Structure formats: C-alpha cells, structure tokens
Structure 1
Amino acid sequence: MASAQSSAEPARPRSSAPETIPSTKFKCDGRTYCSQMTSCQEATFFLQNCPGVKMDGNNDGIPCEKQWCK
C-alpha cells in the first residue's frame, strides 16, 4: 500500500503591505560637492552610491555636515 504525500508547499504568512523594492529619486549624475546637493538625504545617497564625491572631509560617513547633515 502506497502512502500519500502532500506536494503542496506550506502557506507563507501574508503581509498587509505589498512587497516593493525601494526606489530612489536620486541618481549619480556627476555632482560631487555639498554645494550641489539639496538635502541630507540626497548627499547621503551620493556618498554611498556615487564614485568620486567630495562630501565627507573627515571620513566619518556623514556627508555635508556643515550644510545639510547637521
């Protein structure tokens, strides 16, 4: 006598919010200085994602401390 096995996957818990990939309104566009930024959020994005930026003079990971990220 063969035993019956269920091939159904276990149910995943449902989230009340739809799964989305966060998008950003910023993109690397060649700007490198704090004077070219419009917010701390924008400067942080550039520091973390764009090559050649000059926004963290003391190398503490916080950009534009005098202008935006006080």
Structure 2
Amino acid sequence: MKRLILLVIFAVIGWQGYVKYQNSRINRLADQSTTDSGTQGRSGVSRSNDATTDATTSSQFKCDGRTHCAQMTSCAEATYFLKNCPGTKMDGNYDGIPCEKQWCR
C-alpha cells in the first residue's frame, strides 16, 4: 500500500513537471515567433477596434498554448484567447461566446 501511494505521489510530481516544461516551451516558441515575425513586442498585435480595451487585456493575458475552457480562469481570459490566439476550442456552437457552460453565462 505504501508503495502504491509513493508511486502515485511521484506520478503527480512528474506530471506537474511535464506540464510546466511544456508551458515554458510553448511560451518560448510563441515569443520567438512573435519576435521573428516583426510584431509589436510580446503581447502581439492589436486585433480589435477598441485599442484601449485591447491594450489593457493584452497586458493581463498572453497566448500560451491553452486551448480549452478548463484551462481558463475567467470569461475575460477565455474571450481574449478566443479572439487573439490560434487553435482554441472554446466556442463549440461558433456564436463568438467562449466557455458558456463554465465562465461566460
């Protein structure tokens, strides 16, 4: 029984390390592609008509590879990711409102 508990603990620690490694790798690749393409810094290019709102949101959030609602912490964050980050899977009915069951009710 003790061995099973230790195995589970080591598996969880290993998984957390792997997730952190993947996130840092994704961040490095995103930063590199942003720099290589000649965009404006790490926060990316403004894609909305309201520059003030977009500038505020850009400073709060950054495309880091997250694509699912379970990885978000708010409706504002999910909306930013849906509008600015490629490959998101947060708008199942394609109405422009992400994470309707979790965050944006």
Shared fold, TM over 0.5: yes
Partner residue, 2:62: 27
Q: Distance in 1 between matches of 2:96 and 2:88?
A: 12
Provide the aligned C-alpha RMSD in A. Answer: 1.5
The structure whose RCO (Cα within 8 Å, separation 6+) is larger is 1
Indicate the SS of the match to 2:56: coil
Offset of 1:50 from its aligned partner?
0.1
Gaps of 5+ in 2: 1-50
Task: Flag the structure with higher helix content.
Answer: 2
How many residues align? The count is 51
Q: TM-score, normalised by structure 1?
A: 0.68
- Please report the TM-score for the alignment, with normalisation by the length of structure 2: 0.46
2:90 corresponds, among 51, 55, 64, to 55
Q: Does the residue aligned with 1:35 lie in a helix, a strand or coil?
A: helix
Cα distance between partner residues in 1 of 2:71 and 2:56: 21
Deviation at 1:23, TM superposition (A): 2.6
In 1, distance between residues paired with 2:96 and 2:66?
18
Identity of aligned residues (%): 75
SS at match of 1:23: helix
Question: Which residue pairs with 1:37 in the alignment?
Answer: 72
Q: Report runs of 4+ in structure 1 exceeding 3 Å deviation.
A: none
